[in-house]
C-alpha cells in the first residue's frame, strides 16, 4: 500500500456535475484543483452508471430562454453535436473530456474520501485535509490545501468536518412554507435504479429470479406508467427509501429497487399484457441514484418563498427554474401520484450565501447538498441547476483562496469580484450586467453594418384558428405603438387584444394588464388588422400580447420567426392537472415559426449596443445584436471604435446558442439540429491598420457560443470588427456579446 500527499489550492470531493463544474470553474480561475471521485466515471447521477437525464431551468420547456450557459451549457451544446441520440456513454465522454481539457485539474477517479481532518470550535471549524482510498490501486491519498468543496451529494466531507446540516423536512412553520409538512420529519426523497430494454429481433424468454417482487401485489401496475417503449429515466418513479436512511440503508435500498425492476420486467414479459416477446433487458443500474441526504446550513437558506417569489438576491450567482418537485416518501409503493410540481412564474436566483458552510470557514458546497429547505431543494436538485451552482461555488472558492478571503467576506463585501469573474466566464447568471472596467469594449462606440429594426413577418404559411386565446411575446424598446395581425374572418366581428407586462424580466407569462385594444374586422381573408396598444414602459421589456378568442377568426402564421418572439395558445388546465409536471396555462406553439405580424414602432431591442456591456442572455428582451437578413447584408459586421488607440491581447465573443432550445443529454426528446442554427459558423476579427482592415482571427466551422481569442501578439488600433461570413443556419447574424481585454486571462 502507498501513502501519498497532494497539495492543491482547491480540493473538490465528488465528481457529479456539481463537482465537475466546480473543478473546471476553479481551474479556469487559475487555481490548482484536485477533483476526487469515488466512482470510475464522472457525472454522478447523469453518468452511464445511473443515467438520469440532465434537467434544469427550462423545466422541459415550461420556461423560456432559460437554458443554462456556462460550463454546463458548453457540455450540453457539445453533447448535442456529438450525441444527439442521447447515448449515455457518449455523454460520459463529453464530461470526462471537459475535465481532462483543464491543465489545472488533477483527477482522482476511484478515490473514496473516508476521513477528514478539521479543527477549531464548533462555530468556526477549518478543514485541514481529506484522505481518500483509491480502489484497485491500494493508494491512500491525503489531500491538503486552504479550500475544500463538498460536492459529494451525500455530504460526507462536511459532516466529518462538523458542518451544520439538515436532513428530512422542516416544519411548515419554520420557513412559512405551505408545502412543508405541519410537523418536521425525517423523510426524504428516495433513491432509484433505472433500466434499459431493447428489441433482440427474436423471441427472448425471461425467467425472473426468486427475489423479484410480485408487483401485482402492489399498487404499481395501477398507479405508475409501464410501457414497453419507455426506458431509463422515464422510469424515474422506481423510487424507494425515503422512509429509510438513504445512506446507511443504501444496500437494502438497492436490493429492493432491483427486486422491483426484476418484478416489473416479469410483468412486462410474462403477464401477457404487453407485446414484449422480443424484448430483453439491456442494462440495469447497479448503483442506486440518490436524490436527497444532507443539506448544509449556509449563511442563507433558500426557501419556497425565494423560489416562487423569484427573490432578487444581491449575491445571486446562479439560477434555477425546475418546479418544486416533491415525491411521496413511500416512493413506488405509495398510492399517491409519484410527484407533485409547483412551477414558479419563471427562473429564480440562487445566492452565493447558500453555497458555503455557516460554521466551517473554508468549506464550500455545491449540488444537492446546498443550503436550502427541503421544499426549495425540490427545485434546486436538478442537475443543470446543480452544475451552475457548482460553477459559482468553484469560482467563489478560487477567488476567495487567491485573495485570502473567507467565503462570507467574498459574498458580502466582494460580490462584484465574483460577478465580474462569472460574467467574463459566461456563467449562467440572470440579471447581472457586465460592468467590468477591464472590458475595453465598454469604452468604445459601437456600430454595425445593419440592424433588425422592424419586426415584420408577412408571408403566410397557413392559419391558426382563434378558437382559444393566442399569446405572443415581443420585445418593447422603447415603445410599441400598434401591432398588426393578418386575419381571416367568417363574419363581421370585433377582436380584442390585451397587452400585459410579465413581472420579472425573465418571465414569459402575462402578469399585469397594461393596455387593451379592440379592432373591427369585416368578413374576408388576409386582412391586416391594426391594434393600437400604445405602450411606453418605464424600461425596455417584453410585452405579452393576448389575442382573445373569437370563433369566427383565424390568424395567419409565417414559417419563420424573429429572435426574441414567442407564441402561445391558452388552455385552462383541468383541475387534476394542477401541480403536475405538464402544468401549463399558456402552451408554447409555433416553434421556430411565428404569427404574421407587423409591429408599429421601430425597435432598439437588437441594436449593436446590446452586445456591449449589459446582459449576456435574454432578460426583458433578447439582449443581442441582430443584423438584417443576410440576403440583404451579405457580410454583416459589428464593430468598435475608440477615440484613442487601444492595445489588447484578448477578444471574446459570445454567439447565440439559442438558450430557448431545450437540450437534453439523454433521450427525453430529440432536438433536430446538431449545431444551433443561431451560432455564427465562419467569422473574422479585423483590426484597422493604416486605413485597411487586417484580419487578426479567422474561424471556420464554429459550433460554440463562447469564443475567447488570446492573440499571439497584442494589437493596437482604434477600430475592431467582427465580420460574419456564415451562420449555422440562421438567416441573420446574431452576436450576444463582444468583449476586449488588454490582458489575456
Ligand atoms: C432517479 C433520479 C431521478 C432524478 N431525476 C432527475 C432528472 O430528471 N433530472 C435532473 O436533472 N435531476 C434529477 N435528479 C436529481 C439529480 O440527479 C441529483 O440531484 C444530482 O445528481 C445531484 O448532483 P450532485 O453533483 O450534487 O450529486 P451526484 O450526482 O450524486 O454526484 C455526487 C458524486 O460524488 C461521489 N461521491 C460521493 N461520496 C464521495 C466520497 N466520499 N468520495 C468521493 N466521491 C464521492 C458520488 O459517487 C457521485 O458520483 C434525479 C435523481 C435521481 C436519483
Name the residue of 45, 379, 386 whose CB sits within 8 Å of the most ligand 1 atoms, as the mutation to test its pocket. 45
Tens of pLDDT, residues 65-117: 999 999 999 999 999 999 999 999 999 999 999 999 999 999 999 999 999 99
292 C-alpha to ligand 1 centroid (Å): 9
Pairing mode of beta strands 553-558, 594-595: antiparallel
CB 407 within 8 A of CB 332: no
Nearest ligand 1 atom to alpha carbon 156: 41
CB 649 within 8 A of CB 568: no
- Measured CA to CA, the distance from residue 380 to residue 372 in angstroms comes to 8
Among protein residues, the one with the nearest Cα to ligand 1's atom 23 is 367
Nearest ligand 1 atom to alpha carbon 369: 26
81 C-alpha to ligand 1 centroid (Å): 24
Among protein residues, the one with the nearest Cα to ligand 1's atom 38 is 152
| pLDDT above 90 as % of the chain | 96
CB 187 within 8 A of CB 329: yes
Nearest ligand 1 atom to alpha carbon 385: 11
295 C-alpha to ligand 1 centroid (Å): 13
189 C-alpha to ligand 1 centroid (Å): 13
71 C-alpha to ligand 1 centroid (Å): 17
Among protein residues, the one with the nearest Cα to ligand 1's atom 53 is 289
pLDDT band at 581 (very low <50, low <70, confident <90, very high): confident
Residues with a CB atom less than 6 Å from ligand 1: 13-19, 36-39, 44-45, 52-55, 112-113, 151-154, 156, 191-192, 233, 236, 289-291, 367-368, 381-383, 386
197 C-alpha to ligand 1 centroid (Å): 23
Tens of pLDDT, residues 432-484: 999 999 999 999 999 999 999 999 999 999 999 999 999 999 999 999 999 99
Exposure string of 382-415, with b = 16+ CB inside 10 Å and e = fewer, is: bbbbbbbbbbbbbbbbbbbbbeebebbebbeeeb
154 C-alpha to ligand 1 centroid (Å): 9
Rounded mean pLDDT of the chain? 97
290 C-alpha to ligand 1 centroid (Å): 6
Nearest ligand 1 atom to alpha carbon 55: 11
Name the residue of 15, 52, 114 whose CB sits within 8 Å of the most ligand 1 atoms, as the mutation to test its pocket. 52
DSSP for residue 742: S
Kindly tell me the number of DSSP H helices and DSSP E strands found in the chain. 12, 39
Tens of pLDDT, residues 40-64: 999 999 999 999 999 999 999 999 9
Mean pLDDT, range 624-638, rounded to an integer: 98
642 C-alpha to ligand 1 centroid (Å): 49
Tens of pLDDT, residues 7-44: 999 999 999 999 999 999 999 999 999 999 999 999 99
Q: Which residue has the cell 446538431?
A: 674
Q: At 133, list the grid cell.
A: 482510498
Among protein residues, the one with the nearest Cα to ligand 1's atom 41 is 113
pTM of the model: 0.97
44 C-alpha to ligand 1 centroid (Å): 5
- Which of 340, 350, 270, 329 has the alpha carbon at shortest distance from 579? 340
CA dihedral sign, ordered 98, 100, 104, 105: positive
Amino acid at each position: 500500500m502507498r501513502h501519498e500527499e497532494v497539495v492543491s489550492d482547491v480540493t473538490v470531493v465528488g465528481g457529479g456535475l456539481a463537482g465537475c463544474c466546480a473543478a473546471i470553474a476553479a481551474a479556469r480561475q487559475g487555481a490548482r484543483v484536485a477533483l476526487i471521485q469515488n466512482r470510475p466515471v464522472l457525472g454522478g447521477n447523469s453518468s452511464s452508471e445511473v443515467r438520469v437525464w440532465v434537467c434544469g431551468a427550462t423545466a422541459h420547456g415550461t420556461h423560456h430562454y432559460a437554458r443554462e450557459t456556462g460550463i454546463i451549457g458548453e457540455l450540453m451544446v457539445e453533447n448535442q453535436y456529438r450525441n444527439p441520440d442521447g447515448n449515455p456513454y457518449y455523454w460520459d465522454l463529453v464530461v470526462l473530456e471537459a475535465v481532462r481539457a483543464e491543465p489545472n485539474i488533477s483527477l482522482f477517479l476511484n478515490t473514496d474520501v473516508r476521513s477528514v481532518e478539521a479543527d477549531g470550535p464548533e462555530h468556526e471549524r477549518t478543514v485541514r485535509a481529506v484522505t481518500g482510498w483509491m480502489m484497485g490501486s491500494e493508494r491512500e491519498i491525503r489531500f491538503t490545501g486552504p479550500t475544500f468543496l463538498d460536492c459529494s451529494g451525500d455530504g460526507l466531507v462536511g459532516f466529518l468536518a462538523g458542518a451544520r446540516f439538515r436532513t428530512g423536512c422542516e416544519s411548515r412553520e419554520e420557513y412559512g412554507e405551505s408545502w412543508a409538512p405541519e410537523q418536521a420529519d425525517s423523510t426524504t426523497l428516495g433513491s432509484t435504479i433505472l433500466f434499459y430494454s431493447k428489441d433482440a429481433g427474436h423471441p427472448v424468454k425471461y425467467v425472473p429470479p426468486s427475489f423479484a417482487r410480485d408487483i401485482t401485489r402492489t399498487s404499481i401496475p395501477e398507479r405508475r406508467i409501464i410501457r414497453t417503449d419507455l426506458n431509463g429515466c422515464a422510469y424515474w418513479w422506481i423510487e424507494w427509501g425515503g422512509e429509510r436512511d438513504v445512506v446507511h440503508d443504501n444496500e437494502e435500498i438497492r436490493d429492493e429497487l432491483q427486486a422491483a425492476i426484476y418484478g416489473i420486467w416479469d410483468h412486462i414479459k410474462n403477464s401477457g399484457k404487453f407485446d414484449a416477446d422480443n424484448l430483453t433487458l439491456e442494462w440495469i443500474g447497479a448503483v442506486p441514484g440518490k436524490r436527497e441526504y444532507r443539506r448544509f446550513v449556509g449563511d442563507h437558506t433558500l426557501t419556497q418563498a425565494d423560489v416562487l417569489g423569484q427573490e432578487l438576491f444581491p449575491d445571486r450567482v446562479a439560477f434555477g427554474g425546475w418546479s418544486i418537485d416533491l415525491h411521496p416518501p413511500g416512493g413506488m409503493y405509495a398510492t399517491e401520484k409519484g410527484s407533485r410540481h409547483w412551477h414558479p412564474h419563471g427562473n429564480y436566483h440562487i445566492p452565493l450565501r447558500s453555497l458555503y458552510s455557516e460554521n466551517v470557514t473554508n468549506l464550500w458546497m455545491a449540488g444537492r447538498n446546498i443550503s436550502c429547505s427541503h421544499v426549495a431543494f425540490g427545485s434546486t436538485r436538478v442537475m443543470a441547476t446543480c452544475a451552475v451552482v457548482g460553477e459559482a461555488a468553484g469560482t467563489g472558492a478560487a477567488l476567495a483562496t487567491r485573495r485570502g478571503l473567507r467565503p462570507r467576506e467574498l459574498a458580502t463585501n466582494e460580490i462584484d469580484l465574483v460577478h465580474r469573474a462569472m460574467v467574463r466566464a459566461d456563467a449562467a447568471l440572470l440579471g447581472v450586467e457586465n460592468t467590468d472596467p477591464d472590458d475595453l469594449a465598454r469604452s468604445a462606440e459601437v456600430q454595425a453594418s445593419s440592424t433588425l429594426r422592424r419586426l415584420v413577418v408577412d408571408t403566410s404559411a397557413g392559419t391558426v384558428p382563434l378558437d382559444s386565446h393566442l399569446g405572443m411575446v415581443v420585445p418593447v424598446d422603447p415603445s410599441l405603438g400598434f401591432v398588426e395581425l393578418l386575419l381571416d374572418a367568417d363574419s363581421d366581428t370585433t377582436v380584442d387584444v390585451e397587452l400585459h407586462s410579465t413581472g420579472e424580466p425573465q418571465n414569459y407569462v402575462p402578469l399585469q394588464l397594461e393596455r387593451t385594444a379592440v379592432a373591427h374586422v369585416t368578413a374576408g381573408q388576409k386582412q391586416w388588422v391594426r391594434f393600437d396598444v400604445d405602450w411606453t414602459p418605464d424600461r425596455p421589456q417584453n410585452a405579452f400580447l393576448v389575442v382573445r378568442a373569437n370563433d369566427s377568426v383565424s390568424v395567419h402564421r409565417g414559417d419563420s420567426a424573429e429572435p426574441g418572439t414567442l407564441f402561445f395558445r391558452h388552455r385552462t388546465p383541468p383541475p387534476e392537472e394542477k401541480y403536475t409536471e405538464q402544468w401549463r396555462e399558456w402552451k408554447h406553439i409555433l416553434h421556430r415559426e411565428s404569427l404574421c405580424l407587423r409591429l408599429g414602432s421601430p425597435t432598439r431591442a437588437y441594436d449593436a449596443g446590446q452586445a456591449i456591456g449589459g446582459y449576456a442572455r435574454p432578460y426583458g428582451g433578447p439582449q443581442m445584436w441582430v443584423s438584417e437578413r443576410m440576403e440583404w447584408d451579405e457580410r454583416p459586421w459589428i464593430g468598435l471604435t475608440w477615440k484613442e488607440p487601444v492595445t489588447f491581447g484578448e477578444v471574446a465573443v459570445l454567439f447565440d446558442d439559442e438558450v430557448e432550445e431545450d437540450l437534453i443529454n439523454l433521450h427525453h426528446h430529440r432536438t433536430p439540429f446538431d449545431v444551433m442554427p443561431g451560432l455564427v459558423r465562419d467569422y473574422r476579427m479585423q483590426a484597422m491598420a493604416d486605413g485597411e482592415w487586417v484580419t487578426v482571427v479567422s474561424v471556420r466551422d464554429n459550433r460554440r457560443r463562447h469564443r475567447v481569442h488570446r492573440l499571439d501578439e497584442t494589437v493596437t488600433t482604434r477600430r475592431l470588427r467582427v465580420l460574419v461570413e456564415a451562420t449555422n443556419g440562421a438567416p441573420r447574424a446574431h452576436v450576444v456579446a463582444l468583449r476586449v481585454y488588454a490582458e489575456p486571462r
